[in-house]
A and B are shown apart, each in its own frame.
Chain A
Amino acid sequence: MQYLVSVIDDKENPGSTDEQPAISVFNERLIAEGYWVFAGGLADTSAATVIDNRGDAAVFTDGPFVESKEYLAGVWVWEVPDLDVALKLATEASKVCKRKIEVRPFQ
């Protein structure tokens, strides 16, 4: 079972930026235990572009699809047996990244 694990940051109250060494250690453990599928940090939401080509012509919009205080700062994809394992890892991940984490299953 794969889960998208989103790291949520807050523009008004951003998490600190010096967590990388701890996250690397956590990632190595995820790999060693066979849970790691993918991980990546994201550039600022101001670097996003939204494309809508449902109509006659493609429309490009500068910025994220939804402006909000909270935004996606990075993602993992984990392969784990069930939600309990995902929640346990996410509990650790939140400590390691010092940010909120959303766990959401792939269909």
Chain B
Amino acid sequence: MSDVEETITRTHHEEWARVVATLTRRFGDLDIAEEATAEAFAIAVERWPADGVPPNPGGWLTTTANRKAIDRIRRENKRDDKHKEALMVSDDDSPEPLGAIDDERLRLVFTCCHPALAMETRMALTLRMVGGLTVPEIARAFLVQETAMGQRITRAKAKIKAARIPYRVPSAEDLPARVSGVLAVLFLVFNEGYLATGPDTDPVRHDLTAEAIRLTRQIRALMPEDGEVAGLLALMLLTEARRTARVSASGELVTLDEQDRGAWDAALIAEGHRLVRERLAAGVAPGRYQILAAINAVHTSARDVRDTDWSQVVALYDQLVRLDSSAIVALNRAIAVAELDGPEVALAAVDRLEDKLAGYHAYHATRADLLRRLGHSQQARAAYDKAIELAGNTAEIAYLTRRRDQLGS
């Protein structure tokens, strides 16, 4: 990649959301803002290699996108409302203080993650408007047709406009609920990347995990005091740190206990641990992301799996169960209990979850592993069969299949 291409890629990452947000604020229309921003970047790709990168790339892009937006509004308003057009032109070069721009970006995030939009739509819209991914990229990420994804995003923009979903940071009383809505979107994007579903996709979608981390970093820069934002970022970093060790050369999932810990990303782990320590020092009761991050901090602190402080892991899960009494949390707690109190105790706990988790592959995979460790080969085989049938991730299917085939009779 040439220097200019690299600059364009970096600028795209750094400036896309800012430009979209600034234009949305100014023109009150997400569609115009998106299209004009995309046009401005297309012009940059065309001109910068020949003309050189402008001294202030972000400013250049904002100005160019502004002009494109005004061009479009002029075309659409040719017959009416000359006055409005003049007003917008006169406002062209008003300087934006940096703090205000950051607020714009946050407004954009809250609008894309508005609870009146379907969860899938929120994820797609956030990746497009805030992350700057193209529609084909997002369609690939969620394994849907490009036209379907394009329509989903178009419909969402139309709803935001027609239903007047406000373009603002929610009021203080609504903020905690709305922030947790934003974090849920980012966590889903990350998880889809980390355990990608579908037979024809890479088992780990680094593009999605990286994007989720990048967006969470941005949110953290905008809301540095929020404990759950820090917790989610730490959780993602400590998970991402193990990414390369998690899938073998032959494309098989490698479980935590069998991973080459030397292959973990030390820098990401150090950053994740720093965030966890920062939250511990804050002395505020942690939310679920902070607790999950702390659990991952315990795992990534052990140089060898045998050094893992399982009593600490179980204690953290106990804390999590008090916040979230879902069966999935109970299942993960049972996995830790197996290390502390043995597979028999854990199996009893897992079996109690059957009603709620019978359709979830991880329930059967966990049972299979516990039954295998207890020497119940036949039951283990049945559980592996069920897990393989329900699993969607290619690396996980490969791992479960090998484990099943290694069972004695």
Give the interface of A toward B (CB within 8 A): 1, 81-84, 87, 103-105, 107
**Residues on B with beta carbons closer than 8 Å to the beta carbon of A81:** 166
What's the A-B contact tally at a CB cutoff of 8 Å?
A: 23
Chain A nearest CB: distance from B342 CB in Å? 48
Q: How far is the CB of A55 from chain B (nearest CB, A)?
A: 32
Chain A residues closer than 8 Å to B170, beta-carbon distance: 84
CA distance A84 to B111 in the complex (A): 11
Residues from 126 to 169 in B contacting A, C-beta threshold 8 Å: 162-166
Secondary structure class of chain B's binding surface, majority of residues = loop
A-side contacts of B163, CB under 8 Å:
83, 103-105
Is B221 positioned at the interface, with any CB of A under 8 Å from its CB? no
- Asked if B116 lies at the interface with its beta carbon under 8 angstroms from chain A, I say yes
A6 nearest CB across to chain B (Å):
14
Task: Give the interface size bracket for B toward A.
Answer: 10 to 19
- CB-CB nearest in chain A for B114: A83
- On whether the beta carbons of A87 and B116 are closer than 8 Å, the reply is yes
A82 (CB) vs chain B CBs: closest residue: B166
Residue numbers in A under 8 Å from B162 (CB-CB)? 105, 107
Of the A-B pairs whose beta carbons lie under 8 Å apart in the complex, a sample of 23, sorted by A's number, is A1-B164, A81-B166, A82-B164, A82-B165, A82-B166, A83-B114, A83-B116, A83-B163, A83-B164, A83-B165, A83-B166, A84-B165, A84-B166, A84-B170, A84-B174, A87-B115, A87-B116, A103-B163, A104-B163, A105-B162, A105-B163, A105-B164, A107-B162
CA distance A107 to B115 in the complex (A): 21
Q: Contacts of B114 on A, CB cut-off 8 Å? A: 83
Q: In the assembly, what is the distance between CA of A104 and CA of B115, in Å?
A: 15
**Residues of chain A with a CB closer than 8 A to B166's CB:** 81-84
Expressed in whole angstroms, the Cα–Cα distance for A1 and B165 within the complex equals 11
Enumerate B256-308 residues with CB–CB distance to A below 8 Å.
none
Q: Which of B162, B164, B166 has the most CB of A within 10 A?
A: B164
| Shortest Cβ distance from B174 into A: residue | A84
Residues of the B chain whose Cβ atoms lie less than 8 Å from the Cβ of A104: 163
Chain B 11-25 interface residues, beta-carbon cutoff 8 Å to A: none
B347 to chain A minimum Cβ distance, whole angstroms, is 40
Distance of B30 from chain A, by nearest CB (Å): 14
* CB-defined contacts of B164 to chain A, threshold 8 Å: 1, 82-83, 105
**Chain B CB within 10 Å, residue with most, of A82, A83, A104:** A83
Task: State in angstroms the CA–CA spacing of A104 and B116 once bound together.
Answer: 11
Nearest chain-A residue to B115 (Cβ)? Answer: A87
Q: How far is the CB of A81 from chain B (nearest CB, A)?
A: 8
Q: In this complex, which of A82, A84, A104 has the most chain B Cβ atoms within 10 angstroms of its Cβ?
A: A84
Instruction: State how many angstroms separate the Cβ of A26 from the closest Cβ of chain B.
Output: 20
Closest CB pairs A-B (n = 5): A82-B166, A82-B164, A105-B163, A83-B165, A83-B163
Task: Write the nearest CB–CB distance from B171 to chain A, whole angstroms.
Answer: 8
Cα A1 to Cα B115 in complex, Å, equals 19
Shortest Cβ distance from A78 into chain B, in angstroms?
Answer: 12
A interface footprint on B101-114 (CB within 8 Å = 1, 0 otherwise)? 00000000000001
A104's closest neighbor in chain B, by CB? B163
